Structure 1
Amino acid sequence: MYHVKKATFTLLGIILVLTLAACGGSSESSSTSEGDGGSSGVQEMTIKISHVVAENTPKHQAALAMAKNIEENSDGKVKVQVYPNGQLFDDKTEVKNLQANNVQFIIPDMSKMVGMNPAFNVPSLPFMFSSNEAAYSFWDGEKGQEIFQSLESEGIIGLRMWPNGPKQITNTVRPIKAPEDLQGLKIRVQGGQVLASLFKTLDAGPLQLPFGQLYTALEQGTVDGQVNTFSNISTKKLGDVQKYITTNWGAARVDYAMLTNKEFWEGLNEETKKIVQAGIDHGTEVARSKAEQLNQEAFKKIKERGKMDIYELSAEERSVFQEALQPVYDEFREEIGADVIKAAKESSAE
């Protein structure tokens, strides 16, 4: 009996030694692999991306590209779920749920972030950016990244700017060629004090309405006109209820902020964060190329349909609008920040 017990204890001891050796070997292998840049050090997780627009938009296509890139480069260890159309959270709840880490990435219109930092009003400032490239330069630059980083106190980290593009102006009354052409017109605005001030300065009446109600409001004459990107004007067939469109307007833009939860982001190890960041960068490239492509195609469709009279502002005519809208800059310079406005203007001058 003694010999049996002794043999049993000896066997258990051998098993314990082998187990400890195996654990030590596994730990060493993981550490080495992480140092070599392999994927064995990638954290296994599922992350969620939520946005409120449809599947056939640059934003959704870019989110899918981001997800695919992350999953492939992590060898499937990081799963990415994309929820369009407000399926997960809508406009009113997505920011709070990001702060609660119920979702790891959201891509809201920057105008929704002005309550946390008024500098997110920059896309609504009249004729601020001369081109898409100027807008990219600002948000990728020092001052744009500083605005993104200001959200950290709210438990949010801003990462990149995803565009929709410059807004054009449409209406049913007359062509818009000069500031005085807007006098007395009722113009639907998306929201925000800057855009409302822009039209008040031009003696027009701004009226805030949800986008889903816009077509009916135009059809019924609740408003005379609106401002939007070519893609939104075309896909929503606003040309059926609007006679005139002024292009090269660009007195405001629609731009999005790619945001993540601070706790989630800081919980990523170096290797995982590198993969996720690469996915975000890839998604940003897709978002920017798709947005420009979609707007160009949409403008082509508007011309082909032939339902709208198109007037393109010249550089001289744009400068007249810029001069007329200088009071908007004066009104919001202190709130947004003179340094922010200066940096944005410099990005257009580059």
Structure 2
Amino acid sequence: MRGLATIITFLFVGILTAFYIGFGLPDSSRIVAVDEELVGLNEKYTLKFSHVVAKNTPKGHAAAYFAELVKEKTDGWVEIQLFPNGVLYDAQEEFEALKKGDVHIIAPAFSEVTIHDRKWTALDLPYLFDNEIMVEQAFEGRIGELLLESFAKKGFMGIAFWDNGFKQLTNNVKPIIYPEDITGLSFRVMPSEALFKTYRILGARAVTYPFNDVYNVLRDGIVDGQENTLSNIYSKGFYQQQRYMTISNHNYLGYVVLVEPEFWSTLPERHQSSIQEAMDEVTMWLRKHAMELNNDMLQRISSTGITEIHEQSEEEKDQWRKVLKPLYDEYETIIGKELMDELKRLQIDKEL
């Protein structure tokens, strides 16, 4: 009997051991190894990307290309849903929507950012950049770093600067060649204090309307003119309501691509890397594409014969710079010494 009991006990212990090894027992002290890089990789993420311009613009093309690249680089685990033409929110509503998580990516124009961070007024100073080379040097250098660092304090994370192009003047009253030609006219501008003051110095009146209302206010004669890039002027049909255009390149219209930091931190690191990699590729591609598209739009506008086009000479630009120089002095304190010094250095370097 003792032998039988020993055998039964041995078998019972063996069964318990096998069960424990195969299924385990609850144990709060048990340590489980987790590969953090794999967390969330079996979950699909859908990110809403809201913007206010048309699909056939530099930003519209870039957003579409970005969505394609993200899908490719994440093997379909991250989908970028695009909402162009302000179908979800207008330019200012997007900031709050991003904060609330109602959208996940926005790409506001620099002027729209100035309402939330006055340091960004630096990019609305007239005739700041002479060409796309200076723009690239600014965004990829210390100027870009300072701007993103400043806006991060407001709770926004910038992951890229996107190009559109230089802004041109259009109006329905008369040709604008010299600064005095603009006196007494009214223009739609984006909601930037510096832009309002630019027109005030010139003796003109600046007003702001949502981007998707611009065509109507031009058509109805509520304002005489507006300022925008050639791609926007063509894609939105502004030129159809404007008899005169001045190729002035007086301001640069670009965008900062923003995400909300807390939401970004919830994405698996591999997805973050893939999204940023896609963003970097699109940003490089967009620099060349924006220039080509704007040149094409100029040719299209010119070929219609609707709008009389004047291109400013360097001598004419110098006259505008002289009149508008007080704006630089006024905003130096607001922009801050470090950022203003970098802008001045950029201006000096171009002359060397």
Taking structure 2 as the reference length, the TM-score comes to 0.84
| Partner SS, residue 153 of structure 2 | helix
Q: Does residue 64 of the first structure (1) align with residue 81 of the second (2)?
A: no
Q: Does 1:328 align with 2:332?
A: no
Alpha-carbon distance, 1:42 to partner? 7.1
Q: Give how far 1:129 is off.
A: 0.9
The residue aligned with 1:343 is: 342
Alignment of 1:136-151 (within 5 A): 136-151=136-151
SS at match of 2:115: coil
Deviation sequence 1:150-204 (CA, Å, 0-9, x none): 2333332112111221111112332211111112222222221111111111111
One-letter code of the match for 1:295? N
CA RMSD of aligned residues (A): 2.9
In structure 1, the residue matched to 2:161 is 161
Equivalent residue number for residue 173 of structure 1? 173
Give, as a single letter, the amino acid of the residue that structure 2 aligns with 1:161: F
* Distance change >3 Å, CA 50–CA 239, structure 1 → 2: closer
User: What residue number does 2:258 align with?
Assistant: 259
Deviates more, 1:106-115 or 1:311-320: 106-115
The one-character-per-residue Cα deviations of 1:9-53 (angstroms, maximum 9, x if unpaired) are 755643652567xxxxx968x68xx6xxxxx67734413322222
Bigger mean CA offset, 152-161 vs 260-269: 260-269
Partner residue in 2 for 1:212: 212
Larger Rg: 2
- Give the AA of the match of 1:298: M
SS of 2:157's equivalent in the other structure is strand
Question: Residues 235 and 4 (structure 1 numbering): CA distance in 2 closer, same or farther, change over 3 Å?
Answer: farther
Equivalent residue, structure 1, for 2:95: 95
Displacement of 1:217 in angstroms is 3.0
Q: Deviations over 1:126-159 (max 9, x none)?
A: 0011112312221221221221122333332112
- Pick closer, same or farther for the CA change 1:118–1:66 going to 2, 3 Å: same
The residue that corresponds to 2:28 in the other structure is none
Aligned-residue identity in percent: 32
Distance 2:9 2:108 in 1: 69
8 A Cα contact 1:127 1:322, kept in partner: yes
| Amino acid aligned to 1:81 | Q
Q: Secondary structure at 1:325's aligned position in 2?
A: helix
Aligned to 1:112: 112
Q: What letter corresponds to residue 261 of structure 1 in structure 2?
A: E
Paired AA for residue 132 in structure 1: E
Whichever residue aligns with residue 84 of structure 2, its letter is: P
Residue in 1 aligned with 2:29? none
Name the TM-score, length of structure 1 as normaliser: 0.85
1:112 deviates by: 2.0
| SS of residue paired to 1:76 | coil
Does the CA contact (< 8 Å) of 2:171 and 2:245 recur in 1? yes
State the distance in 1 between where 2:295 and 2:230 align: 8
Instruction: Measure how far apart 1:299 and its partner are.
Output: 0.2
Q: What's the secondary structure of 2:223's corresponding residue? A: coil
Contact 2:167 2:230 in 1 (8 A): yes
1:289 and 1:9, CA in 2 relative to 1: closer, same or farther beyond 3 A? farther
Task: State how far apart, in whole Å, the 2-side matches of 1:11 and 1:94 are.
Answer: 63
Could you tell me which of 10, 13, 18 is aligned with 1:14? 18
1:37 corresponds to: none
Contact 1:245/1:309, CA 8 A, preserved across alignment? yes
Partner of 2:27: none
Instruction: Give the aligned partner of residue 230 of structure 1.
Output: 230
Matches of 1:264 and 1:174 in 2, distance apart? 50
Instruction: Give the aligned residue type for 1:126.
Output: P
1:312 equivalent to 2:316? Answer no
Distance 1:71 1:228, change over 3 A: same
* 2:276 aligned partner: 277
SS at match of 1:115: coil
1: CA distance, partners of 2:145 / 2:161: 10
- Amino acid paired to 2:176: I
Cα distance in 2 between the residues matched to 1:254 and 1:272 = 30
Give 1:110 shift.
1.9
Q: Which residue of 2 aligns with 1:301?
A: 300
Q: Name which of structure 1's ranges 63-72 and 308-317 shifts more when overlaid on structure 2.
A: 63-72
Q: Distance in 1 between matches of 2:192 and 2:17?
A: 72
Deviates more, 1:114-123 or 1:87-96: 87-96
Q: Is the 1:124–1:251 contact (alpha carbons within 8 Å) kept by the matching residues of 2?
A: no
What letter is aligned with 1:303?
S
Shift of 1:7: 6.5
CA offsets 1:237-292 (integer angstroms, 9 cap, x no match): 33332222111x12222211111111133344543332221011122123333322
Query: Aligned equivalents of 1:78 and 1:216: distance in 2?
Result: 38
On the 8 A contact 1:65/1:282 being kept in 2, the answer is no
Q: Distance in 2 between matches of 1:9 and 1:69?
A: 57
State the 4+ residue runs in structure 1 displaced beyond 4 angstroms.
2-13
Equivalent in the alignment of 1:23: none
